Amino acid sequence: MSAEGLANPHEARIVRAGHDGTPITDGVFPESKEFLAGYWIVEVPTPERAYEIAAGASAGPGPGGVPMNMPIEVRQHGEAGAFACQSVKKPVRESKGAQHMKFILLTGGTQAAWDSFSAWPRKDVQAYAAFVNALNKELGESGELVAAEGLTGPDQAKLVRAGKNGAPITDGIFPEAKEFLAGYWIVDVESPERAYEIAAGASAAPGPGGTPMNNPIEVRQIMSGPPEDLL
């Protein structure tokens, strides 16, 4: 199991690869956009057990100790298949940076984008997978890669809340118009600028015909722990 909280969304950056491959950072997070606050990665025997865990997390206390019952998105890690790349996980270790410098690089899109990817010619899918696997290998050899995973499609996602008795309430599949997480890298780097360089490299993954897609990659720092004033 792994669990992490992420830094304030105002510190997030949306990164693309420029024409020469250098990072283009689009500034801080739009205030109206939903954002990832944290995550748990669990290994369980059934989806139902994952929903139970999500329901327990959903019931965290809010003001006055009242359970918040916030929705928790539950997604399965992608399995091997035509659109899957190699999953990579490494043991947690001390950060490389002078301070805690672990970042999560998030790649996502809409249902329409997912459907478009599914229709790519096989050779383009293979080229994309080869690119991502080569990137993962490079980051692994440099000691910067902590984990990398692709996720199953949004049609298999569930939004889970805790019911009155704590039992999971699943809200069904993902709304088609909603942006969703497709996969992520967790990297341990010397500086934020290095995280942006890695994100720019991931952004330049080849699309149909080998043309770099330059998709936006969200870069968020992983917190080393809760703020000191909350301890």
Residue 80's pLDDT band (boundaries 50, 70, 90)?
A: very low
Handedness of CA 59, 61, 66, 70 (dihedral sign): negative
What would the pLDDT profile of 153-194 be if each residue is shown by its tens digit?
A: 877 888 899 988 888 989 877 666 677 888 899 999 999 999
Give me the pLDDT at residue 135, please: 93
Per-residue pLDDT, averaged over 30-47, amounts to 78
pLDDT greater than 90 at residue 223: no
Residue 231 belongs to a domain: no
pLDDT greater than 60 at residue 17: yes
Q: Which of 14-18, 136-140, 147-151 has the lowest mean pLDDT?
A: 14-18
Angle at the Cα of 26 (from 76 to 94), degrees rounded to 5? 55
Give me the pLDDT at residue 84, please: 44
pLDDT greater than 90 at residue 65: no
User: CA–CA separation, 184 vs 169, rounded Å?
Assistant: 27
Residue 230 belongs to a domain: no
User: For the chain, what is the domain count?
Assistant: 1
Residue 152 belongs to a domain: yes
Count CB atoms within 10 A of the CB of residue 42.
13
Residue 99's pLDDT band (boundaries 50, 70, 90)?
A: low
pLDDT greater than 80 at residue 98: no
Per-residue pLDDT, averaged over 69-90, amounts to 63
Give me the pLDDT at residue 95, please: 52
Give me the pLDDT at residue 29, please: 63
Per-residue pLDDT, averaged over 1-27, amounts to 75
- CATH code where residue 50 lies: 3.30.70.1060
**Whole-structure pTM value:** 0.81
Q: What is the dihedral of CA 95, 96, 100, 106, to 10 degrees?
A: -90
Give me the pLDDT at residue 81, please: 38
Q: Mean pLDDT for the chain?
A: 81
Give me the pLDDT at residue 124, please: 94
Give me the pLDDT at residue 155, please: 79
> Is the separation of the CB atoms in 195 and 177 below 8 Å?
no
Query: Could you tell me which of 64, 34, 1, 44 has the C-alpha nearest to residue 159?
Result: 34
- Domain of 17, in residue numbers: 2-225
Q: Which has more pLDDT, 92 or 69?
A: 69
> Is the separation of the CB atoms in 184 and 112 below 8 Å?
no
Q: Which has more pLDDT, 27 or 71?
A: 71
